[in-house]
Structure 1
Amino acid sequence: MGMFCSVIKFENLQELKRLCHWGPLIALGVIAICSTVAMIDSVLWYWPLHTTGGSVNFIMLINWTIMILYNYFNAMFVGPGFVPLGWKPDSMYLQYCKVCQAYKAPRSHHCRKCNRCVMKMDHHCPWINNCCGYRNHASFTLFLLLAPLGCIHAACIFTMTMYTQLYNRLSFGWNTVKIDMSAARRDPLPIVPFGLAAFAATLFALGLAIGTTIAVGMLFFIQMKIILRNKTSIESWIEEKAKDRIQYYQLDEVFLFPYDLGSRWKNFKQVFTWSGVPEGDGLEWPIRAGCHQYSLTIEQLKQKADKRVRSVRYKVIEDYSGACCPVNKGIKTFFTSPCTEEPRIRLQKGELILATRGLRYWLYGDKILDDSFIEGVSRIRGWFPRKCVEKFPCDAETHQAPEGEKKNR
């Protein structure tokens, strides 16, 4: 109901623009094609409605479509939940977001596409043009479950429709196979014949259904792994960096992830509840023994300080247009472009860059504006080709290599 109230009251007109992007349009198109073709096939050709099984089959198709669309729009319009603007708790262990002018709550991260700090942010999904987070995690996961199930049902209808309608019409060598197909024959014959256009549409819908089942089904298992561990993909990355930091400096400490309660059932109940509303308020979370509410944010602050220490200043020696796969920067640079949604930045000769991590042929960093870099202010950051820059003379021997550079050489 929250989704419908939000849309009807137009509490946020920007939400309606989410439907105008390619991701949601493609997802809705796949749902519409599979559902429509499956219903047409059911009514006209396979499992007629005048039988009990046909009626149940048709009701199930409608049920799949309604549940898939409900959870899809719920994930899109209800959204992940955002940290309230101006939120200022009494704590010294939180990062401050200068874009939102507020502190980041535990498990919250700033999303450049949403332009807000998202509570329990996992990732920005292009299908819903929104983030998967605290409030819509359950709806998004249910969508990932129901979509493959509905597509499997539709694929069975498509397969049986083509099989029964082509039987005794085309010769594929079936005349040598002893199969009783009397149940497949309809009496009277269907009013609309199963022609070439119907065959092509059914075959196309079958391909979409199978592809969706495989792709979305894999994402469902990934999301269930996240839920049962109570650890988002971003938090898994933070945990890995914590282990690398401890190993790099050979510290006598152990990082314990604070939000895994030690029971898969307890972790599951934090997302899925009978009321449909997730546990908590998205700002404070239950934690495991031996940790406290800001264990993860303290680790993030340590990693941020470590990143500043290990960053390297570079000077731009070649212009770069910001292309994802630049042709004029070499074949190796072209084919090793980072597979990520993170942006590329345009470079001009003479500019300064502070690189924080890198690959063999690419670096990631921030532009140093006006010869002075202030953390969080007027930041222009992204990936750029390594061959376009060289280490700044005064830093060439004093700074260490960016994170990831040593590993990839």
Structure 2
Amino acid sequence: MYRSGAVMAWNVFKFCTALRGLGSIMILLVLGIVGVSYYAVVITNYGPGLAAGGLDSLLAFVVLVLFHCLLVMLLWSYFSVVFTDPGGVPPNWRPAVDEERGDSDPLTGTEFPADSENGRVRFCRKCNQLKPPRCHHCSVCGRCILKMDHHCVWVVNCVGALNYKYFLLFLFYTFLETTLVTLSLLPHFIAFFSDGDIPGTPGSLATTFLAFVLNLAFALSVMGFLIMHISLVTANTTTIEAYEKKTTPKWRYDLGRKRNFEQVFGMDKKYWFIPAYSEEDLRRIPALQGLEYPSKPDLDAQEF
């Protein structure tokens, strides 16, 4: 029985390692869905509608402007997640000594303690290195990730401290874009089931039908993920931390909704909806660097 469990665990890690090979395939799949939607909305339906005149031209213009603006933000956010390192542990990283409390070096006089939030130091046996607070090891990436949320096959990358905001913006703009495409193609989708003649070639009609179904499915699924991550941001926790049931009323990193939001999106409102941070936010909010996180003073005091 034990041997069977060991084999099962080994197969799971082998599967995680195999996910690295999905890189170009998943990116091409995302671009393929974008291409189908672009062809259905711009080339087939609303592009030609600009020449119709009257309210039809105005509607086509509004749809096309919104579609392209959201598409630019979606792709900008997506590739920011793909190409931004989520954050790794710096070489020879050691926790800082808290001089205000008079704490001594937490490495002195004891072996590395267990992996717990109350432990002074955590150690990763796979990476053979110390782990900063809220850091977890990713079996797919094969390294420790700062404030790891999860490994996402759609972005072919881990979602962590340095790209979590970009991932949330990707979800946000994907939801808006897919909702726009779904609503704009809804009249054409309904026309499939009418008795009248439908303009267009069989290929364009099939593309419109496919784009509507894909975007409706993605809008509904992304909405669920977006709601979940909004709740995580307001509680200043991650998917892994929520799974580990650490989001109790005494969760030490819950600083209130406003400050929790700023720990992810920064304080500069001009940067809230773009995948970037101001230099001032990067300097004054340590959590954006992924190594230090403010916590409730009363809970810190209870640990000693």
TM over 0.5: yes
| Residues 108, 120 of structure 1: 8 Å contact kept | yes
Partner residue of 2:181 out of 148, 151, 154: 154
Q: Determine the C-alpha separation between the residues in 2 that align with 1:28 and 1:19.
A: 14
Q: Give the C-alpha shift of residue 19 in structure 1.
A: 7.4
Partner residue of 1:91 out of 106, 119, 123: 106
Provide the alpha-carbon RMSD of the alignment: 3.0
1:220 counterpart SS class: helix
Letter in 1 for 2:223: G
Q: Determine the C-alpha separation between the residues in 2 that align with 1:292 and 1:222.
A: 28
Deviations 1:275-311 (A, max 9, x none): 433631211111013233996xx9xxxxxxxxxxxxx
Deviations 1:216-238 (A, max 9, x none): 11111111111110011221233
Aligned counterpart, 1:203: 209
| Residues 50, 58 of structure 2: 8 Å contact kept | no
Q: Determine the C-alpha separation between the residues in 2 that align with 1:57 and 1:119.
A: 40
Instruction: For 1:267-346, list aligned pairs within 5 A.
Output: 267-273=260-266, 274=268, 275=271, 276-277=276-277, 279-280=285-286, 281-292=289-300
Aligned counterpart, 1:55: 61
| Residues 152, 209 of structure 1: 8 Å contact kept | yes
- Structure with bigger RCO (C-alpha 8 Å, 6+ apart): 2
| Residues 41, 47 of structure 2: 8 Å contact kept | no
Q: 1:294 to 1:235 in 2, by over 3 A?
A: farther
Q: 1:259 to 1:270 in 2, by over 3 A?
A: same
The structure having more radius of gyration, on CA atoms, is 1
- The structure with the largest helix share of the pair is 2
- The structure with the largest strand share of the pair is 1
Instruction: Kindly tell me the number of residue pairs found equivalent between the two proteins.
Output: 246
Greater Cα shift, 153-162 or 195-204: 153-162
1:169 counterpart SS class: coil
| Residues 88, 102 of structure 1: 8 Å contact kept | no
Q: Give the C-alpha shift of residue 25 in structure 1.
A: 3.1
Aligned counterpart, 1:35: 38
TM-score, normalised by the number of residues in structure 1: 0.54
1:73 aligns to 2:66 (yes or no)? no
Q: Give the C-alpha shift of residue 73 in structure 1.
A: 0.7
Gaps spanning 5+ residues in structure 1: where?
1-16, 172-192, 244-254, 299-409
Q: Give the C-alpha shift of residue 129 in structure 1.
A: 1.5
| Residues 152, 213 of structure 1: 8 Å contact kept | yes
| Residues 148, 160 of structure 2: 8 Å contact kept | yes
Letter in 1 for 2:262: K
Q: 1:266 to 1:132 in 2, by over 3 A?
A: same
1:105 aligns to 2:132 (yes or no)? yes
Greater Cα shift, 269-278 or 283-292: 269-278
Q: Give the C-alpha shift of residue 208 in structure 1.
A: 0.1
2:178 counterpart SS class: helix
TM-score, normalised by the number of residues in structure 2: 0.71
Identity, % of aligned positions? 28
Q: Give the C-alpha shift of residue 79 in structure 1.
A: 2.9
Q: Determine the C-alpha separation between the residues in 1 that align with 2:302 and 2:91.
A: 20
Q: Determine the C-alpha separation between the residues in 2 that align with 1:80 and 1:269.
A: 18
